A and B are shown apart, each in its own frame.
Chain A
Amino acid sequence: MTQILIKNGYVFDPLNNIKGEVMDIAIKDGKIVDSRNLNPSEEITIIDAKGKIVMPGGIDIHSHIAGPKINIGRLMRPEDHYMTNVPGEFPYIRAETGLSTPNVFKIGYEYARMGYTLAAEPATPPVMTRHTHHELNDIPIIDKMAYVIVDSNWILLDLIANNDPKLLAAYLAWVLKSTKTYSLKLVDPGSDFAWLLQGRGLDIYEQIPVYGFTPADIVKNVAEAAQMLNLPHKVHIHCNKLGFPGNYATTIKTMELSSKVHKMTEGPAMHITHVQFTGYKGDSWSTLESGGEDIAKVLNSNPDVTLDLGQVIPGRSVTTMTGDAPFEYVLYHLTRNKWYSSDVETDGASGIVPYKYKEKSYVNTVQWVIGLEITLLVQDISRVFIATDHPNAGLFTDYPLVFSWLMSKKAREETMKKLSQKALKKSALPAIDRELTLYDIALMTRASPAKLLGLENTKGHLGIGADADVAIYDIDPMNMDLSKDYNKVIQGFRKAWLVIKNGEIVVRDGEIINPLVTGSTYYASPEVPVSLEKDLYKAIYNKIKQYYTITYESFIIDEKELLKSKVMNLRTSLG
């Protein structure tokens, strides 16, 4: 196996409290080791990272990279692929195409080029997850995982109505195990059911038709089941009323639910995702204002909640795709271009609509402001994660831009010149002076995502025993002012100088040199007592037959269908 020694770099490793110190990192057999353990009689690749920063591989907790909706996005947007084709290189480097709906190879290569080594697909309907895994298998280089959508599926609603928390937890464990997914996702909880029956969405305390309880009950029940199952990443919530002015109140109400969840394990009880889309104040699009300040206040006072941004990139043409069908219906009627709407058996509904964020637009400027405001006003930034909700608000390749806005007031001011001044006048952002440091960026993109996903033993740090996923960027914090030279920061993070995955060098000077490295797919496997499993089998076997087009047996995805998998066995409190 390869032995690598990285010398002279400025190391940023928040989990081990290393803040830009010059130190050596030794790698052997795909793990970080003490440099004394390298075998001098075998070949050692020495990398001189003088004047460069060394960080653990980046982790993206929310990026739509695989599954049926991505594929339909690719089909319905041929215009997204024009002029983006990069031919492959014989024999191993595959062709790349697409911007907001890239092909699988481009996804893997671009993440690697940015020094990211793990990405999570945040929404896959249970019955469609086999497709998701087939696509994840084809994404090269990076590690990946998927969160399964469990918000409006009929069996779940039946079980909540029966009021048997243990059986519900056993069902969710069965869904995770049989679909080989990592965490639970709630998309606009309860709304899909109302959408399918009545063509409307629901607010958090509105009643779900037929069942009679509210989306808040779904959030509470699933969050409590996640506590029982001891999931590392408990529950990933896309709030109700997403994309409607005035929805910041709904978001705050959802965040407040976390205090009602009965806690059994450590870690934050819930994660609010792409908060930018659910942080709108005002009662119509013309009076829209940022609710960022209010959300930041609630986050500061509530340690049980984490959130990611869904940062909008002005000027970017994107493809919005979400399991929130009522919102896509509204968005289609705003854009009048094309719309895909789908009803995934009894799991929920989804939609896809292309959209462009215009720089001069009042609404789009407010959206841009919200994400940055929240990050810069929050005290504990380890509970805020950088994401563009790729490809909904921006592309994952735009992360370096987001870093530059967070790290440099000058970069924000330059961008603000191009945006709607009317919107900026009403916002707090122009007055904020805070500038984040490289350490903060390492914390937000490496250490805290690893902790959030419960992978802090092997991922997100460079201590001994960690997986050898390392990114080295050509940014010299000693000899340049990061706040002024923000363009160099963007370039540096966009194309990493060197990236190591599984102990192999995969990227050098921003180019892929070793595309044959494959990452693993992580999935959670909570332990369920045999007697409870038997009860569950009795309760759902016939329902699956009745509700789905496939049977109980076909529903289960075999371990063999995953190219390379890593299972997280979890001890639960069900026994």
Chain B
Amino acid sequence: MNKKTAAVIFPIFVVILASLFASKSPDTLETMAINYGFEGKAKEVISLFRDYSFPFIDNQFVSTFLAGITGLVFLFVLYRIMNRIVRCFGK
């Protein structure tokens, strides 16, 4: 396999692993918020992809995996846009 292809497939593989095995425990800041009683201050943000999941997909693995892939696609598109802008400025 081409090394560059492997470099692109690698994060997809990590997203699959994260969808299957990532811990659902609160992260460090959430733990602090729970222990010190300020977790209620967090404001709910309306998002289609809340907590790396699609609310309309029941299967948690599929939901998290698709949200992760969506994030990777968004990032890729963002870099394509930046690339285009820099090319335009460079000419």
Do A and B belong to a common assembly? Answer: no
